[in-house]
Amino acid sequence: MGLLSLLWGIVAMLWMVLALIPLLGAMNWLVIPFASIGAILAAIAIAFTRPESRGRAKAGLVLNGIVILVGIARLSLGGGIV
């Protein structure tokens, strides 16, 4: 499950980079919920795995958190239109 959250975070990060292009800012309305699901998966993976094997889940949580924060900042700047 940690690997799934990490891969989910990588896909969300790629979508976020694409959403940073001008006139594609409305894509952040899709990226933020997608990354939120990845963060929930990572939190579940952290809760149910052994402490020594939580690295992938923590990395997935960090990636999804970054995507959520950048997406919110981008929407606050352009309102999802620009």
Break the chain into its structural domains and give their ranges.
Answer: 6-78
Helices 28-48 & 55-78 angle (0-180, nearest 10): 160
Q: What is the pTM of this model?
A: 0.87
As a whole number, mean pLDDT of residues 7-21 equals 92
Residue type, 69: L
pLDDT tens readout for residues 45-79: 999 989 888 899 999 999 999 999 999 998 888 76
Gap between the Cα atoms of 35 and 37, Å rounded: 5
Under 8 Å CB-to-CB from 80, ≥6 apart: which residues? 25, 26, 28, 29
- Tens digit of pLDDT for each residue in 35-50? 999 999 999 999 998 9
Say how far apart CA 37 and CA 53 lie, in whole Å. Answer: 21
Q: Minimal CA–CA distance to 64: which of 5, 9, 18, 20?
A: 9
